[in-house]
Amino acid sequence: MTSILAIAAGIVVIFISCELFVNSIEWLGRKLHISENAVGTVLAAIGTALPESLVTLIALAFGSGAAVHEEIGIGAIVGGPLMLSTVAYFSVGFTALAARGKRTIGSRLDLEQLGVARDVLWFLGIFGAAVLCSLVPAYPVKVLVALGMIAAYFAYAFGQLGEEIGEQRTLAPLHFHRAVLVPDTWRVVMQVVLGVAGMIYGANLFVEHLGTLAGGVGLPAVVLSMLLSPIATELPEIMNAVLWVRQGKEDLAIGNVSGSMLVQAAIPCSLGLVFSSWRLSIEPLLGILAILLCSIFVYLNLRSDRLSAPRLLLTGAPYAALVALFARGL
């Protein structure tokens, strides 16, 4: 019962923190004169990707060195993009359909699809390089690839931050300064910091007690890490996406998901290359297959400017199939 209450508390903390974060990160982008697209793909993505990056770092770099810690780390590395490419995209499509009566554009997705396709292509390139490195036995080569992946991400991020601002939407009042039209910068920064801190705390609380609750399931550590840890660590992205879609800002929602996948491909994967043997067993390879299937599906629809809410619902199928497969013990 204690674990169940702690899990529920973790979800509440994450939800409140996401509301603070979503509300303040847009104001931070406005203060820094950053385009709305870069707010979703860079600022929001880095903030919401912190919990899973910390889980990976703690498991691989600060673990006891036991094989189980490596399995947990690799499971978390694969689990992040798995949850984002399936459940997060599915959540965007489902929310757009469920809230179509309250949205001015109904279930239609109002976003610059070719631009988002470019983000997904960056992810496929960086993540693909990490996956291929599992076939390379030479450790120095893996370190060089890891450095190259991080450099590629920074090149992408700086390119996004350098975009023209363009037309800007009216923002909701800052929760920490609702009495004014333009809030103080220090209040914006404080709300962003508290939002990120709350997401990290809530995610860690959720993961710790979820692991305790699921301890008797009998699945391998890599499977538990791949399926359970991201339930909490990816909740910020999913909740942010739901909040933004309900506000008719699916460009920020999709941008946050695709941007977070890029952070996942660059940072946690690089940690895996440097701090583990990076040998992938059948379970993470199946997760990678689901990631690639969904990402390529989304990319092709974006390239043809045909991505829609109903099509996004299809991205939930590989995740459901994977869970069913693992539940039956492969």
- Counting every residue, how long is the chain? 330
**pTM score:** 0.82
| Contact indicator for 124, 262 with CB cutoff of 8 Å | no
* Topology of domain 36-165+230-327, CATH: A middle domain of Talin 1 (1.20.1420)
Q: With H, G, I as helix, E, B as strand and everything else as coil, classify residue 330.
A: coil
Secondary-structure breakdown of the chain: helix, strand, coil percentages, each rounded to the nearest 5: 75, 0, 25
Q: CA-CA-CA-CA torsion for 126, 294, 52, 212, nearest 10 degrees?
A: -140
- Can you say whether residue 164 is alpha, beta or left, with left for phi > 0 and alpha for psi between -120 and 50 degrees? beta
- The DSSP output letter for 17 is H
Q: With H, G, I as helix, E, B as strand and everything else as coil, classify residue 244.
A: helix
| Contact indicator for 248, 105 with CB cutoff of 8 Å | yes
> Rg of the Cα trace of the chain?
19
Q: With H, G, I as helix, E, B as strand and everything else as coil, classify residue 128.
A: helix
Give CA–CA dist 290/58, Å, rounded.
26
Return the structure tokens found at 304: 């043809």
Give CA–CA dist 302/313, Å, rounded.
15
Predicted local confidence at residue 217, as pLDDT: 59
Predicted local confidence at residue 108, as pLDDT: 73
Calculate ∠ Cα 59-239-21, nearest 5°: 85
Predicted local confidence at residue 312, as pLDDT: 94
Q: How far is CA 14 from CA 51, 115, 177, in A?
A: 11, 29, 21
Per-residue pLDDT tens digits of the chain, which is 330 residues long? 677 788 778 778 877 887 888 788 888 888 888 887 788 778 878 877 777 777 677 667 665 555 666 777 788 889 989 999 999 999 999 998 988 777 666 677 888 888 889 889 999 999 999 999 999 889 999 999 999 999 999 898 888 887 777 667 678 889 888 888 888 899 999 999 998 888 788 777 776 666 565 555 566 767 877 887 777 677 777 888 888 888 888 888 888 888 889 988 898 899 889 888 888 889 999 999 999 999 999 999 999 988 989 999 999 999 999 989 887 765
Q: With H, G, I as helix, E, B as strand and everything else as coil, classify residue 221.
A: helix
Predicted local confidence at residue 150, as pLDDT: 93
CA-wise closest residue to 76 among 64, 66, 68: 68
- The DSSP output letter for 329 is T
Helix axes 282-303, 316-327, angle to 10 degrees: 170
- The DSSP output letter for 167 is S
What are the domain boundaries of the chain? 36-165+230-327
Predicted local confidence at residue 4, as pLDDT: 73
Predicted local confidence at residue 78, as pLDDT: 92
